[in-house]
Amino acid sequence: MSDLMRVQEAAEKLQAAIDSHKRVVFFGGAGVSTESGIPDYRGKDGIDKEGPDEEGYTPEERRYHDYFLTHPDKFHDEFIVRFRALSAVEPNATHYKLAELERAGKLRAVITQNIDGLHHRGGSQYVIELHGNMRTCHCEKCGTTYDIKRFLDDGVRCDCGGLIRPDIVMFGESLDDGAITAAVNEIANADMLIIAGTSLAVYPAAGLVDYFRGDCLVLMDRQKTPRDGAADILIREPIAEVFGKIKV
């Protein structure tokens, strides 16, 4: 079977499932954004394949909150580079189609592990961002919230003397309780759950699937996941190519 035929077959299965359910929830990871050209962290060409910096800190170590506290200016400079790179990337067919499904009343929520904001830029309104976002920032000392432009243009230091940081979840930090609660509620009340582009290997986010009580679990990923055996529909084809064929 050709690649085109496999994509078409996968799209037909997904279409039939969406059409026969009323409470669809989408849960996505890095694989949703890599199809827009954003590299993941641990993939073959991922960010973590880069070597350590001049002080010996690896890319992963530089994403820890402790690193931000001890190297705020270096964290700031790296964040600017990353922010500009992500801002230049456009949403793909998955982001746009999910927004269409939401407007049509077929999709209840998008839950994402990504911080790139592509779901919002693609038109989705209700997006639960488990790992935060790159649109806002706040001071860790006084709690003042700013637009991310404040962090980008004026640096990490607040007028109160505290450190301003982007509203992303850094390594070593817990996920926001409000986001977790909202995600659990949406998944628990869904009759269809589409999980795409995530290895389902990182907790606590990976454990969210345990709250699903519906009758149609869809897994979309090029690689095997620990939950493949539980899937009602298993799709290995490119996520954006499949969603690009979905009719609303």
Over residues 139-195, the pLDDT tens digits come to: 999 999 999 999 999 999 999 999 999 999 999 999 999 999 999 999 999 999 999
Q: Per-residue confidence at 51, pLDDT binned at 50, 70, 90?
A: confident
Strand order in the sheet with 233-235: 127-129, 107-112, 24-28, 192-196, 216-220, 233-235
Q: Token pair for residue 225?
A: 């996941």
**Average pLDDT score over residue span 217-239:** 95
State the pLDDT at residue 43: 52
Task: Return the bridge partners of 27, or none.
Answer: 111, 195
Task: Return the bridge partners of 109, or none.
Answer: 25
Task: Classify residue 239 as exposed, middle or buried by CB count within 10 Å of its CB (0-12, 13-18, 19+).
Answer: buried
**Length, in residues, of the chain:** 248
Task: Say how many C-beta atoms besides its own lie within 10 A of residue 244's C-beta.
Answer: 15
- Residue 163 DSSP SS3: strand
Q: In the CATH scheme, what is the homologous superfamily, with its name and number, of domain 39-88+134-168?
A: SIR2/SIRT2 'Small Domain' (3.30.1600.10)
Distance CA 164, CA 155 (A): 8
Whether the pLDDT of residue 204 is over 90: the answer is no
Q: Exactly one of 76, 95, 131, 138 is catalytic; which is it?
A: 131
State the pLDDT at residue 4: 86
Active site residue 65: no
State the pLDDT at residue 41: 57
Q: Per-residue confidence at 205, pLDDT binned at 50, 70, 90?
A: confident
Calculate what percentage of the chain has a pLDDT beyond 90.
86
**Average pLDDT score over residue span 30-58:** 77
Long-range contacts of 33-41 (CB under 8 A, 24+ apart): 33/89, 33/114, 33/116, 33/118, 33/197, 34/197, 35/92, 35/94, 35/197, 35/238, 35/239, 35/240, 36/89, 36/90, 36/91, 36/92, 36/95, 36/118, 36/240, 37/89, 38/85, 38/86, 38/89, 38/116
Over residues 179-202, the pLDDT tens digits come to: 999 999 999 999 999 999 998 887
Q: Per-residue confidence at 90, pLDDT binned at 50, 70, 90?
A: very high
Q: Where are the domains positioned within the chain?
A: 1-38+91-131+174-248, 39-88+134-168
Mean per-residue pLDDT over the chain, rounded: 93
CATH architecture label of 1-38+91-131+174-248: 3-Layer(aba) Sandwich (3.40)
Q: Per-residue confidence at 48, pLDDT binned at 50, 70, 90?
A: low
Query: Rounded to two decimals, what is the model's pTM?
Result: 0.93
Written as one letter, the residue type at 63 is R
Q: Token pair for residue 197?
A: 């582009």
Whether the pLDDT of residue 44 is over 60: the answer is no
Whether the pLDDT of residue 237 is over 90: the answer is yes
